[in-house]
Amino acid sequence: MTTYDDQLALPSGLSDGPRQPLGIFARPRNANGFVDWLTTVDHKKIGIMYGAASLFFLIIGGVAALLIRIQLATPNNTFLSGDAYNRIFTMHGTVMVFLVVMPMGAAFANFLMPLQVGARDVAFPRINAFSFWVFFAGGLMLNTSWFIGGGAPNGGWFNYAPNNGVAFSPAAGIDFWNIGLLITGIGSLTGSINLITTVLNMRAPGMTLMKMPIFVWMTLVTQFLLLFAIPVLTVAQVLLAADRLFGANFFNVELGADPLLWQHLFWIFGHPEVYLMILPAFGIVSEVIPTFARKPIFGYPFMVFSGVAIGFMGWGVWAHHMFVSGIGPLSVTAFSVATMFIAVPTGVKILNWLATMWGGKLILNTAMLFSIGLVTQFTIGGLSGVSHAIAPSDTQQTDTYYIVAHFHYVLFGGALFGFVAGFYFWWPKAFGYRLGERLGKWNFWTMVLGFNLTFGPMHILGLQGMPRRMQTYDPAMGFGLWNMVASWGSFILALGILMLLVNVVQSHLAWRRAGRPNVGADPWDGRTIEWSIQSPAPSHNFDVDPAVTSLDDFWHRKYQPDETGKLRRIHTGDEIAQPGDPTGVHLPAPSYWPIVLAMSMPIVGYALIFNLWLMIPGVLLMTLSLWGWALEPADDLDPHDDDGAGQGDSASPDGGDGATAEPELETVS
């Protein structure tokens, strides 16, 4: 059964014949260990790598945050110089937004979405690998600015013009911000095309749009937001690169340019961006809460359409970031009203989660606690957000810590808490064991305490008038007390995040010591079809395409109403789970070219910043990898086709018969 053979094939025509055009472009098979991770095209491994990379960047962004809090703990502190402070808060914001929250959403979208729609992989597995590696390459390149090119960027994560021009920021830091994020943007764009195609076109038979899990819906909306938001940011970045590197004048006020152009482009991207950061977390808790409230999600169509409404309305509110930039009273009024309206679909979601929990038999495990944490803390952040929609109020709050408090409540208290809920919930599906519940509860309560101690006081500081991005303050300002509280809180919060990492290590070791017991296909009595396959999810996902007949399909296969109309369990999840038999399943082979192509991008980036001669190796590598990509078989030839040719890869010691694909199927880690 050659499941996605045709769909996977790039239409180069080269996958038809048994002949391998160039031996050097053979796709690796039997990759194991390190090389396996570098060349994999498996959406689950790619999702896990997105998750690992975002945790890695979380440590960088988190250390930057702690440095900021040390500096602000006491008045007139000299722990960080003004220059260092600027670089550190810029990198904190940039890393957290682009390299932590966004890829963490991508981690769940990649790992989970194909499993939830019953697909064997995403639509374009190699492009998927490329999306990850190009994100990672861009992120690494951005972070090399700590060491080279005169220091990290210092223009804030929003990098406003004209401060980002050569005249005010001559060092290369801004270029690293610009080019690095341009590169990660390529990954976001290819990723969004790939994931939207997968959702729209590769659903299991019977899974109509209105039978998709909420997480899939939120992924779809998120990826559409990316698809349309990224090109706008790309244009802003291209204009800035043209200005800084090639002497163009887009933000050159001397020649009449309007620097507000940057703000408009940035926030046309930037507001959809905030929704595409939070919607995956909304999707996650919309899966977790019904599972542990033991009730179906309340108002499924409302959940779906409020998400879609957010997706549309998110495009009409960007100028609420610019109320004090002089855009005129009419614009301010229009955007103010639009922003108040967008609170409605968000409120609908919160009510639906509450109604789902209402009267349910709540199981308060760690995943559920983190989900409730999201609902609570996001509500606080959402309410302070509505207070920004009121322009006169916002005029007072702009550039104060009140704003900082607001977006940390939605992005940390909301998005990140949701992601941690997702980690606890789907960890068994990804790795075959649960994360410890005892440490998990400690993890949750420490994070809640630390989070609210850190960001709660910032509301007060902001209303007291403490400006953002200020390196230090005078004791007479009266900011000392709450800053000290926030700084203590930040270390408690860091401890909470550390507990998550410790829990991962500890739970893994405990599982290994116990001889790797099988956690079972369905450890939580789940509702959606990813729980109908073994844990950890086998490489090929589904032995046969699942046939879906209803929302929460897996649940309905386990529970049926009896004569009296009462729901009764007729099967356990493990009884009806697919056994994980890969017989006859054909998976795309791994490939070197996604990572090689991705790695050529920062070389071109460095060439633009430092020396155009570097273009030569960069472009050569890019061309080579594009050729390699196009010339290697779009898919390894189906070993069960009986075409007798295998890969035509005489170098392969195992003779290239069909069996060589099998060992790969068993290695999931």
Task: Please state, in angstroms and rounded to a whole number, the distance separating the CA atoms of residues 99 and 141.
Answer: 12
Structure tokens at 160: 């406003």
Q: Which stretch binds Cu ion (CB under 5 A): 17-25, 99-107, 269-277, 614-622?
A: 269-277
The residue number whose beta carbon is nearest to Cu ion equals 271
Within positions 115 to 144, which residues make up the interface with Cu ion, using CB under 5 A? none
> What is the smallest separation between the CB atom of 258 and other proteins, expressed in angstroms?
6
Q: Which does 1 bind (CB under 5 to 8 A by kind): other proteins, Cu ion, none?
A: other proteins
Ramachandran angles phi, psi of 467, nearest 5°? -75, 150
Q: In this structure, how many other beta carbons lie within 10 angstroms of the beta carbon of residue 654? A: 12
Least Cβ distance, residue 558 to other proteins (angstroms): 9
What is the C-alpha to C-alpha distance for residues 353 and 337, in angstroms, rounded to an integer? 26
Among 23, 7, 30, which Cα is nearest to 657's? Answer: 30
* Strand blocks (E) in 514-668: 559-561, 567-569
CB under 5 to 8 A by kind: which of other proteins, Cu ion, none does 271 bind?
Cu ion
CB of 385: closest distance to Cu ion in angstroms? 8
Stretch that binds Cu ion, among 230-238, 265-273, 373-381, 627-635 (CB under 5 A): 265-273
Q: For Cu ion, give the closer residue by CB, 120 or 271.
A: 271
Alpha-carbon distance 373 to 271, whole Å? Answer: 24
Q: Least CB distance from residue 319 to Cu ion, whole Å? A: 9
| Residue 2 contact among other proteins, Cu ion, none, beta carbon within 5 to 8 Å by kind | other proteins
Residue 314 near residue 342 (C-beta atoms within 8 A): yes
388 makes contact with Cu ion (CB under 5 A)? no
For residues 36 and 24, what is the distance between their CA atoms, to the nearest angstrom? 18
The CA-atom distances, in angstroms, between 58 and each of 110, 139, 194, 232 are 19, 12, 26, 26
Segment lying near Cu ion (by CB under 5 A), choices 228-236, 263-271, 367-375, 382-390: 263-271
Residue 14: C-alpha distances to residues 11, 19, 350, 629 (Å): 8, 9, 51, 11
Judged by CB under 5 A, the stretch of 270-278, 373-381, 508-516, 524-532 that binds Cu ion is 270-278
Nearer to Cu ion, 20 or 222 (CB): 222
Minimum CB separation of residue 321 from Cu ion in Å reads 5
Min separation Cβ 433 and other proteins, Å: 23
How many angstroms separate the CA atoms of 582 and 2, rounded?
12
Residue 26 CB coordination number (10 Å): 22
Output phi, psi for 561, to 5 deg: -70, 140
CB-nearer residue toward Cu ion: 389 or 537: 389
* From the list other proteins, Cu ion, none, partner contacted by residue 5 (C-beta under 5 to 8 A by kind): other proteins
Note whether 222 and 276 are within 8 A (CB): yes
By DSSP bridging, strand 567-569 and strand 559-561 are: antiparallel
Closer Cβ to Cu ion, 400 or 503, answer by number: 400
271 binds Cu ion (CB under 5 A): yes
User: 306 or 534, CB closer to other proteins?
Assistant: 534
Q: Which of other proteins, Cu ion, none sits in contact with 194, Cβ below 5 to 8 A by type?
A: other proteins
Q: How far apart are CA 527 and CA 554, in angstroms?
A: 5
Stretch that binds Cu ion, among 5-13, 268-276, 326-334, 548-556 (CB under 5 A): 268-276
Size of the site for Cu ion (CB under 5 A): 1
Select 258 or 666, whichever has its Cβ closest to other proteins.
258
Instruction: Write out the residues near Cu ion by the rule CB under 5 A.
Output: 271
